[in-house]
Amino acid sequence: MLINGEWQEGREYFEVRNPYDGSLLRKVPLSSKLDVEDAVLSAKKAAAIMADLPAHKRSAILTNTSRLIENKKKEIAELITGESGKAIKYSTGEVERAIQTFQFAAEEAKQIHGETVPMDASPNSEKRFAFYQPFPIGIIGAITPFNFPLNLVAHKVAPALAAGNSVVLKPSSYTPLTSIRLAEIMMEAGLPKGALNIVFGGGSTVGEWIVENENLAMISFTGSPPVGKRIKERAGMKRVALELGSNSASVIEPDADIDRAIPRCIIGAFSNAGQSCISLQRIYIHEKIFDEFKGKFIGAVKKIKVGNPMETDTEYGPMIEEKEAVRAEEWIKEAVDRGAKVLWGGERKGGIIAPTVMTDVKRDMKVVCNEVFAPLVTLIQYREFEDALDMVNDSRYGLQAGIFTKDIHKALDSFKKLHVGGVIINDVPTFRVEHMPYGGVKESGTGREGVKFAIKEMMELKLIVFNL
């Protein structure tokens, strides 16, 4: 555990294992309630230090972190693949994204400022002068999932520190090792003691102790919708940002460039074994091009290499745990029993599910209406563009959607009508870069990440009025 800038042992430990070969990677301390309280106390002391640290110093720490991660790109990518099972090419991509996340945060740290208020606009304040300024909110409790163990931690820690806050982090119990490495790097980068504290353990214990702690100002959570709901219920008066899941969709219009859409849909549906919050789960294809798209898509799926995530040409490896693969297999079976067709895949070997393409699905099948979080995609025909948009909206989630069309009117129509946080034209919903506002509506969450936007959520506006 990292408390007050010191690495601490625990009374009990839990094992972190490689999901591909089951090998033991490391034992990690299981934090007690007292450890969590110590971590919060340490963050409380550091919050005052961070709030006093000038912007250029906060920026320098974040720039140093970005550079140090860049120097250790290969080592960190291998660590991510080891503990999460993510294919190495995508782990390398995740490290590259985290380098940018820290760099954007370094730049944004220098841009935080307020504005004057035109007080003479009201007859009641003619002779007054006022301005407001954002101040750090205090201690941020960051709780993160397994699927991006570096960059999703970066999307909380980097903006929190850029804003002048301190952090208590609880990473996923599947993937705590990348957080340990990141903290070592941040200390080398010059982070003040206690500005980042890390505790380990299950969500229902350590996670909830963080959520309920009165000293915290905000909980920033990324994970599943049921846990997000529970956190919101238990967080009291704290600010809560929730980045949750989805059953994201794409629409393929007849004027779309199919050969450009297919490789993007393959990545969108299958990278990281479908274990991404914006994984492509539903593809709505216009009836005029359905057969052509289906044929070309299956042709591309057949070429996907699944297996050892350390091999550079592997697209994806195992799911995080075998029980998750078993769950996905059961959902496939449930759909087949109700008349769905498996066009390709459907089999499971241990924790690995073959790339699976289904059609003839119904809107209330689990593979359509729930977040499948597995390498599985459904192909659904439509006739009218309006109907396709309605089907995309027919979801309790709303994170991002991808629309493939050359028609600007249809693009703008989808922007207006889709109930999501982001509409991606001529790409899959799975597209994300670090400085864009990112987040969902409905059960996909509240609040926005993307460095500049997260900083805003992690600060409080304060006003000063001079009576002249």
Question: How would you classify the pairing of strands 128-136 and 115-117?
Answer: antiparallel
> Cβ of residue 8: shortest distance to ligand NAP, in angstroms?
19
Please identify, using beta-carbon distances, which residue of 138 and 447 lies nearer to ligand NAP. 447
> Cβ of residue 36: shortest distance to ligand NAP, in angstroms?
11
Residue nearest to ligand NAP (CB): 203
> Cβ of residue 153: shortest distance to ligand NAP, in angstroms?
10
DSSP letter string, 280-329: --EEEEEGGGHHHHHHHHHHHHTT--BS-TTSTT-SB---SSHHHHHHHH
DSSP bridge partners of 320:
none
Question: How would you classify the pairing of strands 239-243 and 12-17?
Answer: unpaired
Tokens, residue 158: 């980097």
The catalytic residue among 108, 243, 253, 449 is 243
DSSP letter string, 206-257: IIHHHHH-TT-SEEEEES-HHHHHHHHHHSTTSEEEEE-----EEEE-TTS-
8 Å CB contact between 158 and 105: yes
Please identify, using beta-carbon distances, which residue of 201 and 309 lies nearer to ligand NAP. 201
> Cβ of residue 324: shortest distance to ligand NAP, in angstroms?
8
> Cβ of residue 303: shortest distance to ligand NAP, in angstroms?
27
d(CA 237, CA 298): 50
Binding footprint of ligand NAP on the chain (CB under 6 A): 143-148, 152, 170, 172-173, 202-204, 207-208, 211, 222-224, 227, 230-231, 243-245, 277, 371, 373, 445
Please identify, using beta-carbon distances, which residue of 245 and 309 lies nearer to ligand NAP. 245
d(CA 360, CA 8): 54
Please identify, using beta-carbon distances, which residue of 3 and 30 lies nearer to ligand NAP. 30
CA 430 to each of CA 13, 110, 266: distance values in angstroms, whole numbers, following the listed order: 36, 30, 11
CA 146 to each of CA 81, 104, 119, 409: distance values in angstroms, whole numbers, following the listed order: 11, 23, 49, 39
Verify whether residue 243 is a known catalytic residue. yes
CA 460 from centroid of its chain's CA atoms: 24
Verify whether residue 369 is a known catalytic residue. no
Please identify, using beta-carbon distances, which residue of 20 and 382 lies nearer to ligand NAP. 20
The catalytic residue among 265, 277, 369, 449 is 277
Residues marked as catalytic: 243, 277
